[in-house]
Structure 1
Amino acid sequence: MSSLDPITMATQLATFDVQSFQQRYQTQANQYQSQLKALGDIESALREFRTTINEMNSSTSSILQNSATVSQDGFFSATADAGALSGSYQIFVEQLATAHQISAGMPADLDATTQVPTTGTLDFSVNGETMSLDLSTVDTDGDGTATVADLVSAINNDSTNPGVNATLVRSNGQTYFMLSSTETGVANRINVSASGTGQTWFEDAFSNVTEISAAQDATIWLGAQGTGLQLTNSSNTFSGVIDGVDLTVSQAQTSGEAPLTLSVGTDDEATKEQMNGFIDAYNSLISKIDSLTGIGDENTARGALASDPTVRSIKSQIQSMVRGQFDGMRLSDLGLEISRDGKMSIDNDKFEQAQSTNGAALESFFNGDGNLFDSMDELLNPYLKFSGSLFASRKDSLQQSIDRIDDKQASLERKYDMAYDRYLRQFTQMNQLMTQMNQTMSMFS
């Protein structure tokens, strides 16, 4: 009579006891995990779609795009947002905004290792902001001395720095202590003084500065120089001087030159690009929903959310909305069509005709209170809001189901261990009996 392997037998029988439950729980867990991931994918796709439409529906952007062109390059550039009105404007660039730069009157033999006072203060003011640098803090290593290089670092790294950059500039074998404003314009002029140091040379250096570059505002004229409307700005970018148009000047014109022409108007190519961006975002969303809710066939796997009424409802609402009417028009009136499979496409000829003959209607269909983009955002909000969204509730419910499966699997592992121990004892005893019987039988053979 052959002996048994108790461990092998216990493992096989304990596994058989729990195997059906393990397979059932794992199948359920896989299903819940697939649904959880699919809901996350749908939510991400909806967020990307909403981001796309919101970027085309703001105070500065719409489906209809404007452009700004200048009659001559090199003097200024311009951008036009959705609020810009078509028109032609004359611009003369008189001067650019510059940042204030000064050189302190340091000794001619100055270098990075020149020692500076460690008592007193170095005071700055720029555009109403002040900094009082305690010179005793410049000595960072505590050796009782501080160098010009330490001073540069202390100025630049001070948390109260009002907008001053310090640097050492070397030219023709000489080192200069430079201070520059971080912002352009007259208001950002640097004022600096040293006091309480006990060292005249240091205090004189900041009371006798050399101006390298004057603080200067940018000046332009709407119209001809001297007769048009003069405008000044601390920076070289003029925002909203003309509604919806930003100007950035880069080179001053010569006095007496004719102003340049700025033309603002609709940009058909950019508008079409916007429209294609919307179409791509819409089709991508519908494709994602279809792939995760499809019932499947011999060539395609069944979607993880094939029986999910919430996602099907979202798709139905979105498709119903884009097929709807806004400001008395439909997508088909603008050259956009939706095929039987739910995908959107553009009829270029029809769309270009709509652009040329009724651009205002094109914009009003998509943009503004209660129109397509606004309505779409309102539709998606309950599903995507950060607190208490429908997707969050669904995902929480699925996660709780997964957690319950994990608890069941943990309980099943305990059941397996108990069964294994029981079977191991039984087969060990049986094996011992069989061994004894074999020994007894051998005595009579």
Structure 2
Amino acid sequence: MATISSLGVGSGLDLTGLLDQLESAERLKLTPITSQQSAIESRISAFGRLQGYLTSLQGTVEKLATAATYQGQTSRISGSGVGVAVTSSAVPGSYQVQATQLAQAHSLASAGVADKTAALGTGTLTIASGEETLTIEVSAGSNSLEGIRDAINAEKGGVTASIVNDGSGTPWRLALTSKATGTEAAMTVSFDDGGSGGDQLNALLNPYDAATNSNGYKETAAAKDAQLTVNGLAITSQSNTVEGALQGVTLTLSATGDAQTLTVERDTASIKSAITSFVSAFNALDSTADSLTSYDADSGTAGTLLGDSTLRGVQGRLRQAITGGLDEGTYRYLSDLGISLQLDGTLKVDDSKLGKALEGDLADVQALFVGTADKPGLAATLSDTLDDILDEEGAISTAIEGLESRSEALDERYSRMESSIAVTIERYRVQFSTLDTLIAQMNSTSTYLTQQFDALSAMLGDS
């Protein structure tokens, strides 16, 4: 039997077009599956959005549930030259601060020598600073000015050594500086040649004395303590960083000058910001939930999660936690602070009422949100609720996992359906090919018979 290489060639029929139409009709069976897949992906995306807003809300709630949020202090100072840092233990108030002297590190310098690399003698160098004493053996091979400098710095103690050039005929001088400021870090330096004849070092590394040691080292900067007054009370500090002069306050002195006014007050602005951030995050979540469950009667358009039980459950748990109250306390409900739940499900802040509460005893505000040792507050309870909702096995994750499982099942169903369609189309192709061949044969037979009848008719007509 002859074979047909292209459908329709043998029969003259548009079998290829017909096969394409049949395949298109068969592939319509995939439309319900793709529609379901699209709907599921939309729901997964919607729960992802919801999860993001819940996470943002959780961050604001955790801050409200932290006691440190209500214990912050802020400060300001009227002038310059005094930096201020405060902790929660600082006592609110106004203080007069005046720095009259800055702490200074002690510095010494030796007389000059002509060659900083020349050997100067041997012996024992002793440097005392504060409670530390460095003992350095100056031996041959490392007894130049450079060698002594390196030996001192290698000790990594409370003293640093350097070599300076003063531009004179004997320019090289050994300079010593205490790392710490204040009189307690003042240095005492002495050198003992041990009878080795190190006269040059004996002169350089022992104190200057006009009568007995004119080449001795001299003080180039005196050790000084910081001096200041706080509300008229004289205070001395070894460092320019002054701690303890005021409870919970660290003063950093950088310049002396006139008295300045330091104001320490409760950081109510940060507390209010934390509360308003929580309200904004809750309202953003509520707005998103509304859009996901909305229905437009005019257009017949429904939100992606309209009627979803998981979302309704989440909304119910959050509203229950927010509207719940404490058994006792100055503030028992959010509304006591001026934070009320509106009919549309959003929260609204009464700035005047909240401001008045923040001007009062912040321990009462803290008790409402954080709670006490016996019972958690509203923010602590809401934080636990959100942790449960957002847990790996919580409502949102469980809903997403369920949808993903359904999507995977639809993917498998789609693959099976495509395989079935392919088999059906191939069967049609074979049938059409057989039909094409059969019609071609019938056409060939018809042509042959026509030719034979024509020939016979011609023969009979001639006779």
TM-score scaled by structure 2? 0.60
Contact 1:9/1:423 (CA < 8 Å) preserved in 2?
no
Q: CA deviation at 1:237?
A: 9.7
Q: Which has the larger radius of gyration?
A: 2
Q: CA deviation at 1:380?
A: 0.9
> In the alignment, which residue of structure 2 is the partner of 1:333?
336
What does 1:253-268 align with in structure 2 at a 5 Å threshold?
253=256, 258=259, 260-268=260-268
CA distance 1:97–1:228, change in 2 (3 Å): closer
Per-residue CA deviations over 1:68-112 (Å, capped at 9, x if unaligned) read 12232342143555x6542344555564799x9xxxxxxx9xxxx
Residue from 381, 384, 394 that aligns with 1:378: 384
Q: Unaligned stretches of 5+ in structure 2?
A: 1-9, 108-114, 116-178, 182-220, 452-463
Residue from 222, 230, 240 that aligns with 1:223: 230
2:338 & 2:321 partners in 1: Cα distance?
A: 17
Q: CA deviation at 1:312?
A: 1.1
- Whether 2:406 is the aligned partner of 1:405: answer no
Q: CA deviation at 1:261?
A: 3.8
Q: CA deviation at 1:409?
A: 1.0
Residue from 334, 345, 349 that aligns with 2:348: 345
Residue from 422, 425, 428 that aligns with 2:430: 425
Per-residue CA deviations over 1:176-232 (Å, capped at 9, x if unaligned) read xxxxxxxx968xxxxxxxxxxxxxxxxxxxxxxxxxxx9x99968683798437475
Contact 1:46/1:285 (CA < 8 Å) preserved in 2?
yes
Contact 1:67/1:267 (CA < 8 Å) preserved in 2?
yes
What does 1:100-111 align with in structure 2 at a 5 Å threshold?
none
What does 1:364-375 align with in structure 2 at a 5 Å threshold?
364-369=367-372, 370-375=376-381
1:337 & 1:28 partners in 2: Cα distance?
A: 41
- Whether 2:78 is the aligned partner of 1:75: answer no
Q: CA deviation at 1:284?
A: 0.6
Counterpart amino acid of 1:7? T
Question: Matched residue of 1:60: which SS?
Answer: helix
Counterpart amino acid of 2:378? L
> In the alignment, which residue of structure 2 is the partner of 1:141?
none
What does 1:18-37 align with in structure 2 at a 5 Å threshold?
18-20=27-29, 22-37=30-45
> In the alignment, which residue of structure 2 is the partner of 1:323?
323
Question: Matched residue of 2:340: which SS?
Answer: strand
> In the alignment, which residue of structure 2 is the partner of 1:287?
287
Counterpart amino acid of 1:420? I
CA distance 1:26–1:96, change in 2 (3 Å): farther
- Whether 2:92 is the aligned partner of 1:86: answer yes
1:33 & 1:430 partners in 2: Cα distance?
A: 45
2:79 & 2:445 partners in 1: Cα distance?
A: 115
Question: Matched residue of 2:301: which SS?
Answer: coil
Per-residue CA deviations over 1:215-253 (Å, capped at 9, x if unaligned) read x999686837984374758xx69799844x6x4736232
Identical aligned residues as a percent: 22
> In the alignment, which residue of structure 2 is the partner of 1:60?
68
TM-score scaled by structure 1? 0.62
Question: Matched residue of 1:345: which SS?
Answer: strand
Contact 2:279/2:347 (CA < 8 Å) preserved in 1?
yes
Question: Matched residue of 1:398: which SS?
Answer: helix
Residue from 48, 52, 72 that aligns with 1:40: 48
Q: What's the RMSD between the two structures over aligned residues?
A: 4.2
Residue from 20, 28, 46 that aligns with 1:11: 20
CA distance 1:306–1:426, change in 2 (3 Å): same
Question: Matched residue of 1:340: which SS?
Answer: coil
Counterpart amino acid of 1:355? L
CA distance 1:346–1:59, change in 2 (3 Å): closer
What does 1:181-220 align with in structure 2 at a 5 Å threshold?
none
